Amino acid sequence: MRLIQLTDPHLSSLESVSFLSVQGKQKSGYLSWYTKRRYIHRPEILERLTQAVHDESPDQILLTGDLVHIGLEDEIIEAARWLRRLGAPEQVMLIPGNHDNYAPDSLAAMNRHWGDYLPAQDAGSSDYTAAYPVVRTTGGLRLIGVSTACVTRIFSAEGELGKAQLARLRDALIGPVSGPSGASPKRSEFTCLLIHHPPLPGMTKQRKALRDAADLQLVIEEQRPDLVLYGHIHCNRERQHREVHTFCTASASSVNNASYRVFDVEKTDDGWHCRMRLMSLDNHDGAGASFKPAGELSWIRTW
């Protein structure tokens, strides 16, 4: 099975949006786009990365949020066009980021335009966690996505799972177990958790952190998913926490370090073999941009 993670494409343009037409926190997000983000997140880079991802022939594309900047419906429509080119809903597993659910009306817009790619949600519900975690099983792999994309106050990029979603996540991580009688049961599936915010305490500054990271850490330590993939902080990071491998991938559209990660996961007699390959921008020559291997890691999870 080949999984590819990409994240934080921030692909929308606010070129046709007037600063005066946006409200509240969206004004600060607009200024951030105008002064900085529009120069960093480039559509031509994302286009090349999208082609490179297709050339890798992934079985599943794991997209860990922040498709847009300030959660406007027009941005969400623009992102929907790219999503359909990226892959069909059965091939793309999407979880939202804080820039997607940026304003009180963003969640409904996402459900209207990304509905095929998101778990079904009650119309009119403002609970961004109600439909999560979402679980997809394929080829012995168990892919679990959560939503941490709460609407926050101005200048905050925090996230939160909430107690109810966290309890459901724990159950989802347990999954089917197997093992010889008398031995302690072991999970037979290879389990991968997708989350937008950094999952463990201390991985980023308070203003950008997951509020309940300490609670999630307990669940991760107890249930030990094989992989935890996240985004949000726009850099490439790898960290092993006990036997759990955590990876953050840089923004898919960044002129500085656009990246994606390839995970080849295979079941053998002695356990699950996983090989990770990081692919990063080789040059940022616009339409001529290309990607080259920037890191590799292999490990086995024995039975």
Question: Are 11 and 79 contacting, i.e. CB atoms less than 8 angstroms apart?
Answer: yes
Q: Which two tokens stand for residue 151?
A: 């609407």
* Closest approach of Fe ion to the CB of residue 197, in Å: 7
Q: Which two tokens stand for residue 55?
A: 């050339």
What's the CA gap between 77 and 284, in Å, rounded?
Answer: 27
Question: Which residue bears the tokens 């370090």?
Answer: 257
Of 66 and 189, nearer to Fe ion (C-beta) is 66
Of 71 and 190, nearer to Fe ion (C-beta) is 71
Query: Nearest to residue 236, comparing CAs of 283, 273, 277?
Result: 277
Question: Environment class of residue 40 by beta-carbon count within 10 Å: exposed (0-12), middle (13-18) or buried (19+)?
Answer: middle
Of 70 and 141, nearer to Fe ion (C-beta) is 70
Q: Which residue's CB atom is positioned nearest to Fe ion?
A: 66
What's the CA gap between 160 and 148, in Å, rounded?
Answer: 5
Question: Are 219 and 170 contacting, i.e. CB atoms less than 8 angstroms apart?
Answer: yes
Of 1 and 235, nearer to Fe ion (C-beta) is 235
What SS3 class is residue 121? Answer: coil
Residues 30-38: contacts with CB under 8 Å, at least 24 apart: 30/69, 30/70, 32/69, 33/69, 33/70, 37/10, 37/69, 38/13, 38/14
* Closest approach of Fe ion to the CB of residue 123, in Å: 26
* Closest approach of Fe ion to the CB of residue 196, in Å: 6
Of 88 and 154, nearer to Fe ion (C-beta) is 154
* Closest approach of Fe ion to the CB of residue 25, in Å: 14
Of 107 and 274, nearer to Fe ion (C-beta) is 107
* Closest approach of Fe ion to the CB of residue 32, in Å: 11
Q: Which residues bind Fe ion (CB under 5 A)?
A: 8, 66, 97-98, 232
What SS3 class is residue 132? Answer: coil
* Closest approach of Fe ion to the CB of residue 300, in Å: 32
